[in-house]
Chain A
């Protein structure tokens, strides 16, 4: 059975695409069959993997082509549904449908992937809601600044609305908040992390360290596992013989989530 993980936060620039791609590739390297769906017209999933942006999302949701025909292979065990500027038209088209909240759930139904990761756009559009309705687990990356943390509250409100919506009858299996661009040297980071933990407790997972290498990787069309596997963003923090945080930690936690 496929587990659908939604990487979401209405705030832009919080590391959604990097998280979706890194997690997707990490799981595929661990032997899982993974699909990453780019719901953002910016098409950065393909870019981050060194591929061309295509109208895959448009073909899947507007032209109703079957999933296996639209999916493009990115790496062994890793496929993507790419997006490009036609993604804007997808949102407008879906708005006209009667059961628009279910459009992504229906399109992904019957997939043979172990995991599908949805990389959502930084907006509150209809695709955003449809992605929530299709998802089992919500992963919410957030920078540790006031506006990004406010984005976390927004997504949680959207999730509550989806669960309470009469049409959907949807229950999430869980959600996690993932602090990204974590900079241990600033007071604001400390304050925001403490506030997040006070508000959400164990839902807050160990952070992803700020890492210049992570930005470079996308420029080269490489994933972090390929470009900088020993970097802080992958390895996290080490102290007292223990490791915590980074994408390696995230990967292990997500493996526990996958059925």
Chain B
């Protein structure tokens, strides 16, 4: 007796595409759990995330420092900010020394940091 063979009811090319697609969309249960965990971790970081415009040279120095010290750039920035704020609170740092009138209707002042940049 010959073995019964199921008839093909799907275009082979469509079957291949569907198989690959379901791999991509679904994944295994552990894959899905892993992705959910990653999403939760990323979401927990969001409230502390900021997007700031920095002078390019300053940005480069922060990243160079992070690289050489093998410390996350975010933590280098946090350290320098905390130190700066401490100096501000103690009066060692005076914002007024750097203040210049702003041409933007949104702000009264901008800071001229060129004296700091040239102090190296």
Contacts and interface: CB of A to CB of B under 8 A. Distances in A.
Interface of A: 184-187, 189-190, 193-194, 197, 201-202, 204-207, 237, 239-240, 242, 244-245, 249
Contact of A206 (B9, B13, B24, B26): B13
9 contacts: A184-B17, A186-B25, A190-B21, A190-B25, A190-B26, A201-B9, A205-B13, A206-B11, A207-B14
Contacts of B18: 190, 193-194, 197
Interface in B30-45: none
B17 A201 contact: no
B16 interface: yes
Contacts of A244: 13-14, 16-17
A75 B24 CA distance: 40
A233 B50 CA distance: 39
Contacts of B13: 205-206, 242, 244-245, 249
A204 B10 CA distance: 8
B105 to A, nearest CB: 38
B10 A184 contact: no
A185 B25 contact: yes
A185 B24 contact: yes
Given A193-B18, A202-B9, A206-B11, 18 more contacts: A184-B20, A184-B21, A186-B25, A187-B25, A189-B21, A190-B18, A197-B18, A201-B10, A202-B11, A205-B11, A205-B13, A205-B14, A206-B14, A206-B17, A207-B17, A240-B16, A244-B14, A244-B17
Contacts of B14: 193, 197, 204-207, 244
B16 A184 contact: no
B53 interface: no
Contacts, number: 54
Contacts of A239: 16, 20
A184 B22 CA distance: 9
A189 to B, nearest CB: 7
Interface in B81-105: none
B16 A242 contact: yes
A180 to B, nearest CB: 14
A190 B9 CA distance: 18
A207 B24 CA distance: 16
Contacts of A197: 10, 14, 18
Contacts of A206: 11, 13-14, 17
Contacts of B16: 239-240, 242, 244
